[in-house]
Structure 1
Amino acid sequence: MTAQQPQPTVTPNLEEPKLGFNEYAERLNGRAAMIGFAIMVAIECITNQGVLAWLGLR
């Protein structure tokens, strides 16, 4: 007696959402935030001033 192989299910071809929260937008925003943070740290090291000094709050 041979066991029957299960039939694969058909996966619908869904279109990615163009607006709102989706994987691509989240990845892009995360990368931009990391680059911005790295640039901010580099500028702080170069100028020896913190963010509050840049904004004139200190």
Structure 2
Amino acid sequence: MGESTTRFGFVAFAETWNGRLAMLGFVIGLGTELLTGQGILGQLGLG
């Protein structure tokens, strides 16, 4: 039969998407901070 490939766990596919989403989150957080003038913790009411 065909070879089953998993896309869960510590595989290259998952790690690639994890890195992409982390970079996207960082850019969104930085942009929000620049637009509002408050840090991320300040926006959450923690700082």
* TM bracket, shorter-chain basis: 0.7 to 0.9
- Verify: 1:44 aligned to 2:36, yes or no: no
Within the candidate set 17, 22, 40, 2:11 is matched to 22
What is the CA deviation profile of residues 1-58 of structure 1, one whole-angstrom value per residue up to 9, with x for unaligned ones?
xxxxxxxxxxxxx643332110000000000000000010000000000011111112
Tell me how many residue pairs correspond in the alignment. 45
Q: CA RMSD in A?
A: 1.3
Structure (1 or 2) with the larger CA radius of gyration: 1
Structure 2 unmatched ranges of 5 or more:
none
What secondary structure does 2:10 align onto?
coil
Structure 1 unmatched ranges of 5 or more:
1-13
- What TM-score does the superposition give when structure 1 sets the normalisation length? 0.68
Query: What stretches of structure 1 move > 4 A for 4+ residues in a row?
Result: none
Higher relative contact order (CA 8 A, sep 6+): 2
Q: Which has the higher helix share?
A: 2
